[in-house]
Amino acid sequence: MKRVSVAMIGSGFVAEFYMQGLANVNGHEVVANYSRSAGRGKGFAKKWRVPETTSDLDGLIGRDDIDLYVIA
């Protein structure tokens, strides 16, 4: 089965809850995070081992390698 590529839009309180829930789900990988704050995005990515963080929402949404966007 193909792994689902997930992008988390947001890096605050709600995104933390989503990540906690996703930790118990198999078959996905959170590959990118969007944050308006570069510092917060980097901290979120480090904590949750998300390989990429960005403050470019249009660029993230325009990607064709992401299967699911979680708006947090």
- DSSP assignments along 1-65, one per residue: -PPEEEEEE--SHHHHHHHHHHTT--SEEEEEEE-SSHHHHHHHHHHHT-S-EES-HHHHHT-SS
Strands of the sheet containing 68-71, edge to edge, are 53-54, 28-34, 4-9, 68-71
Using one digit for the tens of pLDDT, what is the confidence trace for 25-70?
999 999 999 999 999 999 999 999 999 999 999 999 999 999 999 9
Using one digit for the tens of pLDDT, what is the confidence trace for 8-21?
999 999 999 999 99
Distance CA 53, CA 63 (A): 14
**Which residue reads 């605050």 in tokens?**
12
pLDDT of 20 = 96
pLDDT of 69 = 98
Q: Which domains are delineated in the chain?
A: 4-71 (3.40.50.720)
Predicted TM-score (pTM) of this structure = 0.91
40 residue type, one letter: R
